[in-house]
Chains A and B, each alone.
Chain A
Amino acid sequence: MIEEVFDVAVIGGGPAGLAAAVSASENGAEKVVILDRNSWLGGILPQCIHDGFGVEETGVSMTGPEYANMYIELAEKHGVTIMSETMVLGFNKKLEIIAVNKEGVYKIKTRGIVLAMGCREKTRWNVMIPGDRPSGVFTAGVAQAFINLYNIMPGKNVVILGSGDVGLIMARRLKLEGANVLGVVEILPYASGLPRNVVQCLDDYDIPLYLNHTVTYIKGRDRLESVTIAKVDKNMNVIPGTEKEIKCDTLLLSLGLIPENELSKNAGVEIDNITRGPRVDQFYETNIPGVFACGNCLQVYDTVDALSVGARHAGKYVAQRLKQEKTKNSEIFVKPGEGVRYVVPQRVNQSGPVHFTLRVTQPGESVFLNVTSDGKKIYRKKLRFVNPANMINFEMNVDKTLLRSNRSLEVSVHG
């Protein structure tokens, strides 16, 4: 086994891994390595050739490849070691990583690990769409890689299921490449992607959006021949008699993303049932001391900008931990209450200002975000407009008394 020693190892070289590695270096970590199984850095960004990246973070609108390039240059400037085409097989509580590449098997001793493995797309089998099993059914991200990286058109007449951002972006991309985009089908009463994408990907090209609809059947022997779509009621049950068959040769699925945490689970990292990412404290540290998590393997972000800001914090905290051991403190838990799907961080164990992120369960206007401890209101903020597609950020001071109270914080959003 080839032995290596690093201060900090970042698993995953997508936007989160790059931002965490850069930030760890900026904050004093000397030997930082990024491990990535691809031959390139930037993860999914090189195939996201549309623009709109970086606006919140830098004020400049960039395309995905340009945004990736910005961080790759920063990583080079800081002397971050890159091990590409390297697959991490596992890590343990002693912060040792086992990885493999063409050179052989590595044992990498570290003093801090940052998890930045990203996420995966949900497939047909995550939502169990009935019907045949023809070719022509792709996840939206796979179709995006085909078109934008490999110059392969996935099909001519396309239906898209799910109005997540990748699905919307692909509707426009296929249209621009000459395909006939027959419509985007969304089971919810509202689009799940960002408003700007509904405007410039669907409205601009008169692509119909079927809200409160879903695909109920996939038909085709070798190649996809048609899909059946139908209206759903408030409880998302199909309304009989509303079925409509649409002839098409391609179905793209944009059904949402699942954080990738096989490595985390194998190592004993506690996973949140709702975010499907590690449960972390305000320092992005998991239950294993020295193991931090950021990016889409922690929680699926709306934008790369917000993701990078979080990942930079994780990088800063892992660098600080190299200099200073964590002091044992009392710990309180943070739980989602009414109207809230999840809150990150899930634990707080040091007093001071804490940055929280959360998602609501449904859209709303002029609502209040409340934080309670044992039924007592301790924080309140008015929100003009909330939507499950838009992550909500707030900062709240957790004082020593609250920390020692041993009572969980409950975060709720309602009118």
Chain B
Amino acid sequence: MKTMRTLMSLAFLAAAALPALAEGPAIGAAAPVFDLKTIDGKDFSLASAEKSNSYVVLMFIATECPYSNAYNDRMRDMAASYAKKGVQFVGVNSNSTETVEEAVAHAKKHGHTFSIVKDSGNKVADLYDARRTPEVFVVGKDGKLVYHGRIDENYEDAAKVTSPDLKNALDSLLAGQPVAKAETKAFGCTIKRA
């Protein structure tokens, strides 16, 4: 299984070299695995994170995107809340315009204690066909993608959210229920590819 996923990941990476965006994994398909350094110098392996958690939430984030920044507190709070339920939140910074140092400063400023990896060369963004920030992908223990899309529908005001899509998905998954809306969309900043 791991060999197959590794081959799939390599195939996605090869496709990512093409000018067009690669096709990302569909809901229910294997999520491409990757190994990267966190912005504080630690090793991060998605395959290992899957094994040690019920679910892993990959969040493509930015330091300068107003849409991503609108979710800073929500990301911080959800990461802390769901860590207790066996869900690991991981930030992925794929923007070629943002340095590790800027990501470190941004995380410190906003109290982001969840792991954040620097995706130099936007290889992981290409593997997932991630287009914008913020954009989230939820991966299960079996390595399959179970949710893709937005955190919620109201970037402007967390108090007026009517469709907390990521929360709904995680709550359903943790309760052993199917996810009602496994694919959602919202406006966001384009990931600045190298």
Instruction: Specify whether A and B are partners.
Output: no
